[in-house]
């Protein structure tokens, strides 16, 4: 076999037919319509598998799943059987053989490490060695997929980092134009913009790029998690695009499916409390808000929107179509049978800046917790006035991981994998929307 899985001809007598076979295989691989009919993907910086699992559920078959961290690789290995045996490529993303996938992959996706741009980090940005956006774009150049999805913290949109975010998008727009030796990113960006302005690149060498900060709760994730998504489509795919619009409006992003107003409407009219078997609780809302709730009810009646999902919804398994069951109340220091990492954690306390999570609203952002479960973000305020830590499994459910998904390593490592993950449900929705946009674009090209 050759380096890309193509049979190597044993004799010169078969040379011409062998070349013909290789050409036919390459032609099939480079047909964009074939790549959309049977969508494939490469997952970078896979971590505990949130984005990878979401895209798997969106119908993408992974050709490679890459991760450097050893504990995360153990987690991916432990779950391979239930997703059909993902082909893992552990190790440094910059040292992998990506060229063999050239023009044979529908999508490249990944959430580059967020620490360089996180509000909770040291804010080194492009100077942080963990800034792997250049590596992400290099893989896009080497593979040349039909589309790419990148994810990161909202902090990347802060004014201090915004010029570098613009550079990321410019570089992703023209991945073949690499920086020269000793060229600063600012100098490289100026050269990129000139090339894009003069349309010096062929359509199959450049990408249409958009970006937007989305709130996970608006898409059915029971969590107030804001994240930046960057999407890119190869310019020859025919995807509908408005190049003159500002970032966030160039592409038709997925419409929110859930809303705060819809949640408040169900709490105000009592249907939320009835569903949970709780005595109705009165909401003190001004008259103008009541009119908004009436509009939300009308939208719910015609299926246009659903209520935000709450922490209580997550813990009791009432996440409509996601197939969860109620989680038993955890016992401190003891594993709950049938649930990986559903172990009660003693010592939860509240203090200034760590006020905990109300049960009847989306949870606060689940954080990585490298040094153990952090304070208020991972504490639940219970109905009897007490409070406790959320278990690792409860945090995974808030991130919409299925209960069957096993995490490896000690509690701190499992918490880190979960906190760093893209919510599975959000990744699935983004993947489905990208897939459908490609299908529509290429169908139009076919017409």
In a domain, 431, yes or no: yes
Is there a domain that residue 386 lies in? no
Contact of 262 with 306, CB cutoff 8 Å:
yes
For residues 354 and 343, is the Cβ–Cβ distance under 8 A? Answer: no
In this predicted model, what pLDDT tens digit does every residue of 128-171 receive, in sequence order? 445 789 999 999 999 999 999 999 999 899 998 899 999 999 99
Alpha helices in 153-233 (DSSP H): 162-173, 185-197
The reply to whether 282 and 134 lie within a common domain is no
Res 321: pLDDT: 67
Residue 366: name the closest of 400, 399, 406 by CA.
Answer: 399
At a CB cut-off of 8 Å and minimum separation 6, what does 217 contact? 223, 224, 225, 258, 260, 308, 309, 362
CATH number at residue 434: 3.40.50.150
Mean pLDDT (whole number) for 172-190? 94
The average pLDDT across 259-273 equals 96
Q: Are residues 180 and 292 in the same domain?
A: no
Query: Is residue 112 domain-shared with residue 92, that is, in the same domain?
Result: yes
Q: With CA atoms as reference, report the closest residue to 418 among 443, 400, 440.
A: 400
On whether residue 57 sits in a domain, the answer given is yes
Shared domain for 209 and 289, answered yes or no, is no
Q: Is 212 part of a structural domain of the chain?
A: yes
Would you say 232 and 208 are in contact if contact means Cβ atoms under 8 Å apart?
yes
Give the strand pairing for 379-381 and 357-358.
parallel
Q: By C-alpha distance, which of 147, 239, 110, 215 is closest to 426?
A: 215
Within a domain: 310: no
Of 304, 322, 339, at which residue does a domain stop?
304
Q: Report the distance separating Cα 144 and Cα 80, nearest Å.
A: 26
User: Which residue, 272, 304, 336, sits at the end of a domain?
Assistant: 304
Encoded tokens for 211: 């970006």
For position 17, what pLDDT does the model report?
Answer: 37
Closest C-alpha to 359, from 297, 225, 287, 267: 267
| Burial label, 442 (beta-carbon count in 10 A; 0-12, 13-18, 19+) | buried
Regarding whether 145 and 117 lie in a shared domain, the answer is: yes
Strands (E), 169-250: 207-215, 226-234
Element (H, E) at 65: strand 61-67
Q: Is residue 316 part of a domain?
A: no
Residues 35 and 25 both lie in one domain: no
Give yes or no: residues 249 and 118 share one domain. Answer: yes
Record the pTM.
0.89
> Is the same domain home to 164 and 275?
no
- The mean per-residue pLDDT over the stretch 441-446 comes to 75
Q: Are strands 258-259 and 306-307 parallel, antiparallel or unpaired?
A: parallel
Task: Give the containing element (helix H, strand E) for 42.
Answer: strand 40-44
Q: Coil, strand or helix: which one is 343? A: strand
Which pLDDT band holds residue 200 (cuts at 50, 70, 90)?
Answer: confident
Find the domain containing 290 and state its range.
259-304
Tell me, yes or no, whether 408 lies in a domain.
no
Instruction: Read off the pLDDT of residues 55-93 as tens digits, 9 standing for 90 and up.
Output: 999 999 999 999 999 999 999 999 999 999 999 999 999
**Which residues, in sequence order, are CB contacts of 220 under 8 Å at separation 6+?**
257, 258, 306, 309, 319, 320, 425, 429
**Residue 197 domain-assigned?**
yes
CA dist 377 and 355 (Å) reads 8
Same domain, 81 and 189: yes
Same domain, 174 and 113: yes
Q: How far is CA 24 from CA 17, 37, 146, 236, in A?
A: 11, 18, 20, 21
Q: Within its chain, how far is the Cα of 340 from the centroid?
A: 23
Q: In terms of Cα–Cα distance, which of 350, 363, 24, 328 is closest to 222?
A: 363
One domain for residues 22 and 65: no
pLDDT of residue 231: 98
pLDDT tier, 259 (very low <50, low <70, confident <90, very high otherwise):
very high
Band (294; pLDDT cuts 50, 70, 90): very high
Q: How many domains does the chain divide into?
A: 3
Does residue 347 come out as left (phi exceeding 0), alpha (psi in the -120 to 50 range) or beta? left
Q: Quick check: 428 pLDDT over 90? A: yes
Same-domain pairing of 138 and 108: yes
What rounded mean pLDDT belongs to the chain?
Answer: 88
Q: Which two tokens stand for residue 231?
A: 């999407």
């Amino acid at each position: 076999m050759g380096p890309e899985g193509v049979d190597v001809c044993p004799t010169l007598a078969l040379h011409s037919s062998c070349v013909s076979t290789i050409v036919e295989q390459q032609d099939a691989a480079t047909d964009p319509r074939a790549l959309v009919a049977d969508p494939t993907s490469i997952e970078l910086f896979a971590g505990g598998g949130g984005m990878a699992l979401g895209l798997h559920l969106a119908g993408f078959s992974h050709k490679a799943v890459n991760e450097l961290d050893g504990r995360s690789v153990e987690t991916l290995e432990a779950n391979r059987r239930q997703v059909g045996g993902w082909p893992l490529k552990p190790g440094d993303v910059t040292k992998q053989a990506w060229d063999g996938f050239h023009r044979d992959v529908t999508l490249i996706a990944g959430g580059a490490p967020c620490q360089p741009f996180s509000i909770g980090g040291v804010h080194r940005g492009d100077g942080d060695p963990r800034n792997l956006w250049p590596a992400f774009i290099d893989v896009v150049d080497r593979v040349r997929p039909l589309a790419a999805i990148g994810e990161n913290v909202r902090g990347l949109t802060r004014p201090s980092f915004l010029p570098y975010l613009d550079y990321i998008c410019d570089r992703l727009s023209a991945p073949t134009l690499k920086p020269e030796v000793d060229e600063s990113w600012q100098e490289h960006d100026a050269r990129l913009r000139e090339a894009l302005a003069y349309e010096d690149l062929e359509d199959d060498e450049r990408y249409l790029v958009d970006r937007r900060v989305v709130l996970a709760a608006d898409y059915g994730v029971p969590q107030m998690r804001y994240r930046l998504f960057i999407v890119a489509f190869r310019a020859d795919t025919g995807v509908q695009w408005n190049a003159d619009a500002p970032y966030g409006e160039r592409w038709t992003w997925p419409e929110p499916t859930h809303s705060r107003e819809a949640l408040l409407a169900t709490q105000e009219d009592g249907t939320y409390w009835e569903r949970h078997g709780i005595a109705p609780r009165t909401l003190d809302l001004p008259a103008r808000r009541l009119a908004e709730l009436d509009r939300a009810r009308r939208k719910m009646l015609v299926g246009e929107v659903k209520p935000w999902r709450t922490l209580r919804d997550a813990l009791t398994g009432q996440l409509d179509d996601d197939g969860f069951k109620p989680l038993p109340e955890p016992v401190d220091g003891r594993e709950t049978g049938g649930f990986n990492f559903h172990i009660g954690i003693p010592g939860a306390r509240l203090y200034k800046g760590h006020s905990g999570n109300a049960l009847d609203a989306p949870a606060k952002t689940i954080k990585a917790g490298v040094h153990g479960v952090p304070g208020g973000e991972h504490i639940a305020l219970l109905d009897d006035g007490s409070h406790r830590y959320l278990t690792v499994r409860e945090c995974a459910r808030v991130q919409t991981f299925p209960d069957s998904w096993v995490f490896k390593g000690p509690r701190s490592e499992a918490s880190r994998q979960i906190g760093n993950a893209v919510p599975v449900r959000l990744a699935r929705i983004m993947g489905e929307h990208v897939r459908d946009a490609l299908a529509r674009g290429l169908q139009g090209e076919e017409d």
